Structure 1
Amino acid sequence: MKITLITVGKVKESYLRDAIAEYSKRLSRYCKLAIVEVADEKTPENASEGTDRRIKEIEGERIAKHLAPDAYVIALAIEGKQLSSEELAAKVADLGLRGVSHIQLVIGGSLGLAPAVLKRADYLLSFSRMTFPHQLMRVILLEQIYRAYKINAHEPYHK
């Protein structure tokens, strides 16, 4: 299975880059992982709704260039479905059984995802109704993907 994270912006903090590298290394046993970063747009303070909408559209266009037509796209969105780790593992396993060979997971920028990206997604996934920094979300998502593979392989993993 190929897993691609499509993310907006660069990870600036070294401790987050280290965690991403660690989970990328761990995942290499289970899948082919790629991380694609698209440029984020600077959001001015006190930006209007129109400016926010335009920024999401620009970032959405950048994301769309990397969405493969044959990939199963999961967009992280606050309005998505919340799953337990076991349910996420079952979803990944089910996709594999259905012949899906490429899953793309999309993490938007600080303003979220453009409506066009949400519409293209095959599934909307929410980790919480809370908002998380999009850079930290990469680590959380990679950890949960790793946990899903460990669950599916019936291998022990800390709880």
Structure 2
Amino acid sequence: MNIKIIGVGKLKEKYLAQGIAEYAKRLSKFVNFSIVEVPDEKAPEQLSAAEMQQVKAKEGERILAKIKDREYVFALAILGNERSSEELASEIDHLATYGHSDITFVIGGSLGLSNEVLKRADTQISFGKFTLPHQLMRLILAEQVYRAYMINAGSPYHK
């Protein structure tokens, strides 16, 4: 089983990298876990709607280049479906049981994901209506994936 997180931009904060490394180590008992970074598109603070779409499109091309046809893709999107930890665990277990051994989660940049990435996704997942830094989402997502494996293993971790 392979779980990959694709994130836009370089992770700069040491504490986030340390947290992700800890969950990656824990997950290594269950799956091949990896994080793939794609460069963010440099853009000024004030963008027109058309410029925003251009930035998302360029980042989207970089993301799509890292996704293989066989991968089952979860796009993180505010308008996606919220799931409980148990529901995510069940979904991952179901995917593994029915032949999806390559699961990819995609976290967009500060402007979100392009329509092309959203169309490629097999499903959209939301962590609520909060606006969270996309860098922090990598850590939160890594923890939730680990939690899913612990739930599926019947571990007391999930309490």
TM-score bracket for this pair, using the shorter chain length:
over 0.9
What is the rounded CA distance, in whole Å, between the counterparts of 2:45 and 2:116 in structure 1? Answer: 25
SS at match of 1:24: helix
Identity across the alignment (%): 56
Q: Which amino acid aligns with 1:149?
A: Y
Structure 1 portions without partners, runs of 5+: none
Structure 1 residue aligned with 2:119:
119
Using the size of structure 1 for normalisation, the TM-score is 0.98
What is the rounded CA distance, in whole Å, between the counterparts of 1:137 and 1:41 in structure 2? Answer: 19
Q: How far 1:97 sits from its partner (Å)?
A: 1.1
What is the rounded CA distance, in whole Å, between the counterparts of 1:43 and 1:22 in structure 2? Answer: 32
Q: How far 1:99 sits from its partner (Å)?
A: 1.1
Structure 2 residue aligned with 1:100:
100
Structure 2 residue aligned with 1:45:
45
Structure 1 residue aligned with 2:62:
62
SS at match of 1:34: strand
Structure 2 residue aligned with 1:110:
110
Q: Which amino acid aligns with 2:80?
A: G
Structure 1 segments (4+ residues) deviating >4 Å: none
What is the rounded CA distance, in whole Å, between the counterparts of 1:18 and 1:145 in structure 2? Answer: 16
Using the size of structure 2 for normalisation, the TM-score is 0.98
Q: How far 1:158 sits from its partner (Å)?
A: 5.0
Q: How far 1:88 sits from its partner (Å)?
A: 0.4
User: 5 Å matches for 1:69-148?
Assistant: 69-148=69-148
Aligned length: 159
Structure 2 portions without partners, runs of 5+: none
